[in-house]
Structure 1
Amino acid sequence: MLFSVIIPVYNRPQEVDELLDSLTKQTYPHFETLIVEDGSENRCKDIVEKYREQLNIRYYYKKNSGQGFSRNFGFERAEGDYLVVFDSDCLIPPHYFETVNQYLERDPVDAYGGPDRAHADFTPVQKAISYAMTSPLTTGGIRGNKRHAGTFHPRSFNMGISRQVYEETGGYRITRMGEDIEFSIRIIDSGFKTALIENAYVYHKRRTNLTQFFKQLHFFGRARINISRFYPDQIKIVHLLPVMFTLGVLFFCSLPLWSLWLFEKLLVPFLAYFALIFVHSSYKHQRISIGLLSMATAFIQLTAYGIGFLKEWWVKLRE
């Protein structure tokens, strides 16, 4: 089986360098790599040239159109049986394609996704961000594990589709703001079989500071409302939990102004929740500092998503 790896990139040559280096270490060699430069000013063409002798790689430069349509650009030019999408800020462990190939030979599916993890070399902030996005104690952790609810919806940071899926669906219909969610819904609605391959994980660097992380999650919240413009039934209770948390925080912060007694009563469960996050993350990473940072990233993960959701919901109401 030949895999075609499609990597859209925008002004991130250093990330592409690290990603391509990880691909040179794959134990399964039957894959090609397509780098799609999406109108970048800071191009990665020279980085790609470094790997000509180590990888079956092609480089394309195109006018900026967003990550969704850049992936379609790669799909159109790919030669593989399976079309695999990675975000440029991922590192791929050596066993990845061997794991996927073995799974597909044993249990063929039309589309798959894998989880993300924190690499040992990540900064403490990156590890804390990864924790917030994968922990069972936050809504970020509801995906990418075998206990996910309902049919598994692959996400484009780590996703593979058969050539038939692309030919019948036409790829991405929107290019930003929830494009991978819309695509996954359409894949499933078209009758294709999806699966989570747990050991086909990637190391996802995501954002490098808390401000960037807030902006990213704020955008994710807006994206969920954008998806509801296409699929009104795709607002689930789990998507409302960050909104409820955000509104609860606003209510909690207002309590001292009019009910100190109620503030004191609610303070205990609020602190207990974040204490649990601190203990769990500290134990998982064996570092108290990451446990402390994880309390901040979990708070941001919930409130930034909730704020973005409410903001775009208000926009939608006024349309």
Structure 2
Amino acid sequence: MRKYSIIIPVYNRPDELEELLDSLTRQTYTHFEVIVVEDGSVRRSDQVVERYHDRLDLKYFEIENRGQGFARNFGFEKACGDYFIVFDSDTIIPPRYMEVVNTRLSDDFLDAYGGPDAADENFSDLQKAISYSMTSVFTTGGIRGKKNNAGGAFQPRSFNMGISRRVYRETGGFAKRDMGEDIELGIRLKKHNYRMGLIPEAFVYHKRRGNFGDFFRQVHSFGRTRFVLDKLHPGLELIKPVHAFPSAFVLFCLLIPVWYFVFEPFFWLSLAGLALFIVLIFLDATSRTKSLKVGALSIVAAFVQLFGYGLGFIQEGARRVLRR
């Protein structure tokens, strides 16, 4: 029977960690240990962990703040399992998750896997709106949680992924503190021909950021990441036209007032196009979530996401040009 080690880095999120640990007590497949790595938190999770010691095979470590990538590596070093699974602390795990993963790996082994994310019905309206924006065809092209994405073959993401002990031993795990550390690891796994894949049924409920300010900062870092990774792995063409779409959207929106003075017909045409985009997001989000409020919040979430990512992409791109 394969034993799994679940690695959870946590930074100032004891309340979210409690929900995650509680969900792990409900798993139908139970041959796993849980390793919580407190990454230099001010709001420590030791009391939360203590409440679950008699319900989970649980280990708790405190380290100086090193970033989530290196905190995961620390957890890997302490792990006893044959296969390592990584969750972000703001996730909740469905009861059959471990059973689904074990069945897939037993039938068709993967050196590394990833799973999609979803919004639980108990999430707040804001969390549902952000989740919609991160998976909508109108913002990401609907590529998250699909077997292929904008970068080509599927690559695991660290909020919900797993790697074998052998892969960690041969690659050293994460090579970056944060900001694209999972994408960078996926690039190295692909270069070394490890077998990776999506397990669609192995989804998690992902809370994401608690407010639009935090969400903006997160997606802004995503926009910058593409250029950072391209610098680390030159020659792999990691920046593709689809990654520039949010930047094009930002420029499109900013130029709308200009067209009024330059070429008024195009001003009204652009305004109509933007209005159609807003209506489509509202109707689609409302239809998917069955909530008018979530539909309205999804409009804001979509603009925050596109502007955050787009401005980050423009900022890092401009820095590269200036350096050259």
TM bucket by the smaller chain?
Answer: over 0.9
Q: How many angstroms apart in 2 are the aligned matches of 1:10 and 1:64?
A: 9
SS at match of 2:156: coil
> Residue 123 of structure 2 aligns with which residue?
122
> CA-atom RMSD, angstroms?
1.3
Which amino acid is the alignment partner of residue 115 of structure 2?
G
- Structural mapping, 1:195-274, within 5 Å: 195-232=197-234, 233-274=237-278
Which amino acid is the alignment partner of residue 146 of structure 2?
N
> Residue 113 of structure 1 aligns with which residue?
114
Relative to structure 1, the CA distance from residue 213 to residue 58 in structure 2 (aligned partners, 3 Å threshold; closer, same or farther) is same
Deviation at 1:136, TM superposition (A): 2.0
Which amino acid is the alignment partner of residue 294 of structure 1?
S
Which amino acid is the alignment partner of residue 224 of structure 2?
R
Matched, 1:55 2:95: no
Deviates more, 1:187-196 or 1:261-270: 261-270
Matched, 1:18 2:19: yes
Deviation at 1:188, TM superposition (A): 1.0
Identity %: 50
- After superposition, the C-alpha distances for 1:171-201 in whole angstroms (9 at most, x for unaligned) are 1111122111101110111110111011100
Matched, 1:99 2:100: yes
- Structural mapping, 1:41-190, within 5 Å: 41-139=42-140, 141-146=142-147, 148=149, 150-190=152-192
SS at match of 1:64: coil
Q: How many angstroms apart in 1 are the aligned matches of 2:317 and 2:266?
A: 30
Q: How many angstroms apart in 2 are the aligned matches of 1:89 and 1:211?
A: 17
> Residue 7 of structure 1 aligns with which residue?
8
The answer to whether the Cα contact below 8 Å between 1:132 and 1:141 also exists between their aligned partners in 2 is no
5+ residue gaps, structure 2, are none
- After superposition, the C-alpha distances for 1:63-86 in whole angstroms (9 at most, x for unaligned) are 111001101001111111111111
Which amino acid is the alignment partner of residue 205 of structure 1?
K
SS at match of 1:195: strand
> Residue 288 of structure 1 aligns with which residue?
292
Stretches of 4+ aligned residues off by more than 3 angstroms: 146-149
SS at match of 2:245: helix
Among 302, 312, 316, the alignment partner of 1:312 is 316
The answer to whether the Cα contact below 8 Å between 1:177 and 1:226 also exists between their aligned partners in 2 is no
Q: How many angstroms apart in 1 are the aligned matches of 2:242 and 2:61?
A: 39
The answer to whether the Cα contact below 8 Å between 2:147 and 2:198 also exists between their aligned partners in 1 is yes
Which amino acid is the alignment partner of residue 295 of structure 2?
G
TM-score normalised per structure 1: 0.97
TM-score normalised per structure 2: 0.95
The answer to whether the Cα contact below 8 Å between 1:228 and 1:235 also exists between their aligned partners in 2 is yes
